[in-house]
Amino acid sequence: MTQSFNFDATDRSIVELLRQNGRATNQQIAETLGLTATTVSSRIKRMEDANQLRVVAVSDFAAHGFNFLMEVAIEVDGRPASEVGEELAGFPEVFAVHLVTGRYDIDMLVALKDFDDLSHLLLDKFSKISGIRSMTPAIVVDIIKYQFDIAPIEG
């Protein structure tokens, strides 16, 4: 049974402060909002328990030696796209896999250390997966927006 969850102004303020600084302590958040640390802690726990909040660290690709980003659109044939997507998701180079509508069945984002890794990934790894009809890679030439704190909260 899914329990209904409604964000109030205090919840939205807590989330906004965590978006600005995911390492902020409950005490720091409480002082900023004029609450007690216990109140902040219980509200964070309530949001986490309702699967409405998850605090995670996001690292920079380049800081870890990944200098090449690519989007790959995939057409699937003869096998469920969800199975192909699950198999693709197992590769360490793949950081996002989406089942999509339209011309392609799967859209995924890939991070590589070097351009020279591309042919090995496409020809030796991805091409061995049963059900892939075609792959259309697109190289990322610039990042306009890379942000994970954008899930809208009704307000």
Tens digits of per-residue pLDDT, 72-104?
Answer: 999 999 999 999 999 999 999 998 999 999 999
Entry pTM: 0.65
| Domain 62-139: CATH architecture, name and number where available | 2-Layer Sandwich (3.30)
Task: State the pLDDT at residue 1.
Answer: 42
Q: What share of the chain is helix, strand, coil (3-state, %, to 5)?
A: 35, 20, 45
Helix (H) or strand (E) holding 49: helix 37-49
* Contact by Cβ (8 Å): 81, 106: yes
Q: What pLDDT score does 150 carry?
A: 60
- Could you tell me which residues come within 8 angstroms of residue 89 by beta carbon, excluding any fewer than 6 positions away? 97
| Residue-range domain boundaries for the chain | 9-49, 62-139
Q: Which residue blocks in 66-136 are alpha helix, DSSP H?
A: 81-89, 117-119
Helix (H) / strand (E) containing 14: helix 9-20
Structure confidence at residue 59 (pLDDT):
64
Count helices and strands (H / E) in the chain.
Answer: 5, 4
Residue 3, CB-side half-sphere exposure with 13 Å CA sphere? 10
- CATH assignment, 9-49: 1.10.10.10
Predicted confidence at residue 79, as pLDDT, reads 96
What parts of the chain have a pLDDT lower than 70?
A: 1-4, 57-64, 147-155
Q: What does the pLDDT read at residue 36?
A: 95
Sequence-ordered list of residues with C-beta below 8 angstroms from that of 30, at least 6 positions apart, any chain: 36, 37, 39, 40
